[in-house]
Structures are given as C-alpha cells and as structure tokens.
Amino acid sequence: MKRTVLTGQDGRLCLGWRLMVFLVIAMLVALVVTALLGPGIQAGSVAILLGSLFGGWAVLALDGRRPGALGFYLKPDAGREVAVGLGLGVVIAVVVVGLMAAAGGLRWSAEPGTAGDWVVGGVSSLLFLAIPAAAEEALFRGYPLQALAEAWGAPAALLLTSIAFGVMHYGNPGLTWLGLGNLVAAGLLLGAVYLRTGSLWWATGVHVGWNWGHGYLADVPVSGLELLNAPFYDGVGQGPSWLGGGGFGPEGSAVATVVLLAAAAACWMGPWLRLGEAAASMSPLAVIDG
C-alpha cells in the first residue's frame, strides 16, 4: 500500500498519530472522570487508569485487536500473576532496605501498635496502592511502551518510557538527581517485566510490591511521599543522602540504583519470566518471548 500522511505502507495509522490518539482519548476521559470524582490521589489515579485503558483499547481496536491485548485481560491467570509480581516487588524492596540498613543508612524507632493493627493496616495499604500503580502501568507500560517497542524495538521503548516515568514524578518532594535516576531504573524494571510476560497484571503486582515494601513494611517514604504508617515502628533514613535517600526515601539511595538495575537485567535476561498462555491468547502488540 502507498504511504500517506496518516498511514504507513502497511495501511496502519502511523505511530505518531496512534500515540496522539491514545493521549487525546486518555486526557479527555481523565478530565471527565476528574470532574465527576473531584480532587484527590485516588480519584486522580482512577481518572488516569480509565483514560489510559480507554485510550489503549481504542487504538488497539484500529488494528483489530481485543482490549485484553493491552495486558489487563480478564483471565483466571490474572490473580496469580498479580500475586507473584507482588511477591517479587516486595523481595526487591526488602533487599534495598536490608542493604541500606546494613550500611547504616536506615534505622527504626519503636511506636505503639498491635499485631491486629499491623495486619489490617497492611491489607488496607495494599488496596490503597493498587489503583495508583495500575494507573501508572496502564499509562506507561500500556499502549505507549508496546507501540514503541513494536516500531523501534524494545531497548528504545524501554528507555523512552522509563525517562517519561521518571519525569512524571519531577514535582515530588525531596527529589534529587539520584532519585530521578532511580525512578528511570524502576521504569526499566517494570518495562522489562511487561515485555517478558505480556501482562500488566505482572507489572502492577511488582509496582505495588515495591511501594508496599518501602511504604508499609519498612515504613519509609515512597518517592518522597509519606502515604502509609505501620504500627510498631517508624523508619528513618540516616547518613548522607546518597546512602539514606534523604526525604525521598530508599529511591533516593545509591543502593536502590544497584538493586534496581540488577533486578531489571535479571528480569530481562533470566529464564524465569515467560509469556503466559493467557497473555499469548490476547495477541499482544509487542513482547520478548524466549
């Protein structure tokens, strides 16, 4: 077929136009949802999530693909993928916190509380973190990452979407250049998880686990935000900011840099992450299988 201003030789809408359609639909839906729900972290996250989903589904439909191709498919495997991803995210977060504590970059002070309070708080904090994490995954590791990976290859797509992920947090309190770099590294990890599994359930689980492991399990700031408070103890960074993270939390520490990059490489090159049957049945736009 002949290339036009709007379409390529394959007859599909050009990448730039598809990304523009995605962004326009995502923004319009988000504005409507925000007007209906009002301000607030959770309301804003719902708006971003719905906008990114509708935008991604609409552009996928232009290629004759089902909504599930985006990565949030309604299959029995979804629950398992979220759970395993959650566990992986917690483990990576705990490794960061443990190494920081061993190096003298973190300490904890005692606070009142009961075991019941801790369990209830832990469950409620997981639910609280779920929608913001899903929203960011749909926005960055959803259609933009997939379309860019299909057109330009996975490495370029990972880098571009990870930089955008970091820049989105530019206004967070306590952000340093090291913290910004770590957010980009976190984007590389989450992008690698999606491209290996074809599942936004997997990526969302890792995202929630990382945030929960820091914000609740260790009770330290997450990306500069003190959103959670665990009973029994309170975590505080200490020492130089490159070690303790300062007010940005562990994501401001050089320890996180090393662990995140190592985890991203392990997820990218290791044999343990594979495209599942549920994801494969959706014919995703771009994955790295094998």
Q: What is the pLDDT of residues 60-95, one digit of tens each?
A: 999 889 999 999 999 999 999 999 999 999 999 999
Contact 46, 37 (CB under 8 A): yes
- Which one has a higher pLDDT value, 126 or 10? 126
pLDDT at 76: 93
Q: Report the distance separating Cα 275 and Cα 283, nearest Å.
A: 11
Q: What is the pLDDT of residues 188-242, one digit of tens each?
A: 999 999 999 999 999 999 999 999 999 999 999 999 998 899 998 999 999 999 9
pLDDT at 12: 81
Share of the chain above pLDDT 90, in %: 84
The domain locations on the chain are 1-64, 69-281
Contact 93, 213 (CB under 8 A): yes
| Token output for 53 | 């989903």
Q: Report the distance separating Cα 272 and Cα 268, nearest Å.
A: 10
Amino acid occupying residue 230: A
Q: What is the pLDDT of residues 130-158, one digit of tens each?
A: 999 999 999 999 999 999 999 999 999 99
